[in-house]
Amino acid sequence: MDLGRVRVAYGAVSDLYIELFGTREQSHADDLAFIERHLTRAGTVLDVGCGPGHMTDHLRSLGVDATGIDLVPEFIAHAGAAFPGGRYLLGSMDHLPVADGSVAGILSWYSLIHRTPHEVGGVLAELRRAMAPGGALVVGFFDGDAVEAFDHKVVTAYRWPVDEFSGLLAQAGFAEVERWRRPADGTHRAHAAIAAVTA
């Protein structure tokens, strides 16, 4: 996937995206609970693909030393203004601005959905590089019976079977510790999340 295309596409709809998704109150309670179970331990946490910054701010409200990273300038500008106590950096999950083994956790909440299947393994390897032994990773993505592209409202996205995504995590050096799935309900697509630790 052309990351420049993703950046421009989200920048063009950033105001609407922020209006629809830009606060923790607009997040599903089960999503927040899942994230909290695995990323509220002590240490530095990166929220990669943080979007408007609301999940980063939520983690910080729980005492987590969280930093948001996103490639969309409009999202980083909004996050800095809406959550002035937080840290938000313009950047890419392909090249995280941290030393090897330096973070205790990473949140990748729907930030891998636009990456093509052959790209995901490389991104997961970069996340693994950044994480300390025993570090926790939480990934949210669209659930499906097969790996397939679909017409997302912003730019092409991909569904993943949970078992297949878990296998990719294992190849990158993570061990799954919890998963959960929320079926489609007529308004929202099927959702899945996996929590894993560095193996």
Instruction: For residue range 93-105, list pLDDT tens digits in order.
Output: 999 999 999 999 9
Q: How confident is the model at residue 90 (pLDDT cuts 50, 70, 90)?
A: very high
How many C-beta neighbours within 10 Å does residue 10 have? 21
Joined together, the tokens standing for residue 117 give 């299947």
User: Measured between alpha carbons, how far is 73 from 91 in angstroms, rounded to an integer?
Assistant: 9
Q: What is the pLDDT of residue 11?
A: 62
Q: Tokens representing 55?
A: 């999940």
| pLDDT at res. 13 | 61
CA distance linking residue 93 with residue 165, whole number of Å: 18
CB contact at 8 A, 164 and 143: no
C-alpha 39/C-alpha 188 separation (Å) is: 25
Q: Specify the pTM.
A: 0.89
Q: How many CB atoms lie within 10 A of CB 74?
A: 19
Q: What pLDDT does residue 43 have?
A: 87
Q: What is the mean pLDDT of the chain?
A: 88
